[in-house]
Structure 1
Amino acid sequence: MRKLRYGMNVTLDGYIAAPNDPSHTSGDAAIGWGGPSDELFQWWLDQELACGLSLYGRKLWETMSAYWPTGDQQPGANQAEIAFARNWRDTPKVVFSSTIDKVDWNTRLVTGDPVAEITRLKAADGAPMEVGGATLAGAAMRAGLIDEYALATYPVLVGGGTPFFTTLDGWVNLNLVETRTFPGGVILTRYETRR
């Protein structure tokens, strides 16, 4: 059975995007409160390289596909960004949406029930999968499908926006498996779901 991971950059008050954050709506690869340090970007790249399948909601897909197909060709792209862009293009992806009708870059579109499809994908053998996008991840969370959470917490409070976690019907017990400090006061915490 494959593991399903959910990880993102998050504010101290728990948001992955602030209200009216231009980077969240424009497709910019950076987040409004600052991009990751080179060291943190490398950590995310290592996670991506270990992933066998990426699952996206529509909004995150639009953000990622607006930049990463040519991210390695951008002026000033460093080695990690070049590697990330190439890996992003090569990694199989599934986009869950009922409002778009075409995807590309080694991607297939699912318009049906995301929980049923994610459950089916998890039942297969293979490298870990990652889920991205608050709405899609929230559905997977509520269904108890997420095996690992990774939060790169930035020292900023934005007071609202898109939360990392969704409202749940009950408790989910976790085991802390990694804690690490990155430049700029960013704290990474990684948890596994206790089954």
Structure 2
Amino acid sequence: MPMRTLTLAMNVSLDGYVAGPGDDLGWGVPSDELFQFWSDRVGSTGLALYGRRIWAGMNAHWPTADRQPGATPAHITYARRWRDMPKVVFSSTLSTVDGNARLVTGDAVAEITRLKAGDGGPMDIGGATLAAAAMRADLIDEYVLVTHPVLVGGGTPFFPTLDRRVDLTLAETRTFPGGVLLTRYATRR
């Protein structure tokens, strides 16, 4: 029986961090071409799984970004796609979420396992803590690293410490302006 695929796709510094010291994300500003890649990805995602912090950041901006002064056509499209995309937010501290999202306060691994076994389109996962739990449980089918040519020296790592090896197969490479490199790997099972 086919299962839904789960992909971890995030910006990462060359030294392996998704956020620099103090949660700095300023180094990951996308070119127009990279922004279009992320927008198309949101448009094709059947369900997004978010940890609390990435949810808070995304939900603070994108629900109304298309109505802000100076919003570009690309930002308007992304905002609409993001609002329309179903989302599950995993948090033990939030009591509610809004928009096209539902909250899960219990066992994230059990819920992700249940969602993977269900019907629907591909799923993306975001947030270092949530992604780490899914990695440790061998639930990630694909890793998409969008590597920026910067060394941030510390912060939040893309990969947590794992207690076993995970073999991967290179599925795609793509370059973007500014020396940004996308590498997509499929988990070998």
Instruction: Please say if residues 11 and 28 of structure 2, whose CA atoms lie closer than 8 Å, have aligned partners that are also in contact.
Output: no
Pairing 1:187–2:181 present: yes
Partner of 2:18: 16
SS in 2 for 1:156: coil
Mapped partners of 2:63, 2:16: distance in 1: 29
Mapped partners of 1:194, 1:51: distance in 2: 22
Letter in 1 for 2:156: T
* Deviation of the 1:55 alpha carbon: 0.5
Mapped partners of 1:125, 1:17: distance in 2: 33
Partner of 2:86: 92
* Deviation of the 1:82 alpha carbon: 1.0
SS in 1 for 2:21: coil
Letter in 2 for 1:7: A
* Deviation of the 1:4 alpha carbon: 0.3
* Deviation of the 1:77 alpha carbon: 2.1
TM-score, with structure 2 as normaliser: 0.96
Mapped partners of 1:32, 1:101: distance in 2: 29
- 113-122 or 100-109, larger mean C-alpha shift: 100-109
Partner of 1:122: 116
Letter in 2 for 1:16: V
Mapped partners of 2:28, 2:14: distance in 1: 13
Q: Which runs of 5+ in 1 are unaligned?
A: 25-30
Match of 1:4 among 3, 6, 9: 6
Instruction: Please say if residues 147 and 181 of structure 2, whose CA atoms lie closer than 8 Å, have aligned partners that are also in contact.
Output: yes
1:123-174 CA deviation, whole Å, 9 max, x = no partner? Answer: 0121100100000000000000000111110110011000111111111111
Mapped partners of 1:95, 1:61: distance in 2: 7
* Deviation of the 1:74 alpha carbon: 2.3
Mapped partners of 1:180, 1:130: distance in 2: 19
Match of 2:164 among 157, 166, 170: 170
Q: Which runs of 5+ in 2 are unaligned?
A: none
1:33-66 CA deviation, whole Å, 9 max, x = no partner? Answer: 1410000111111111111101000000000000
* Residues 2-81 of structure 1: pairs in structure 2 closer than 5 A: 2-21=4-23, 24=24, 31-81=25-75
How many equivalent pairs are there? 187
Mapped partners of 1:148, 1:164: distance in 2: 14
TM-score, with structure 1 as normaliser: 0.93
Mapped partners of 1:59, 1:18: distance in 2: 15
SS in 2 for 1:118: helix
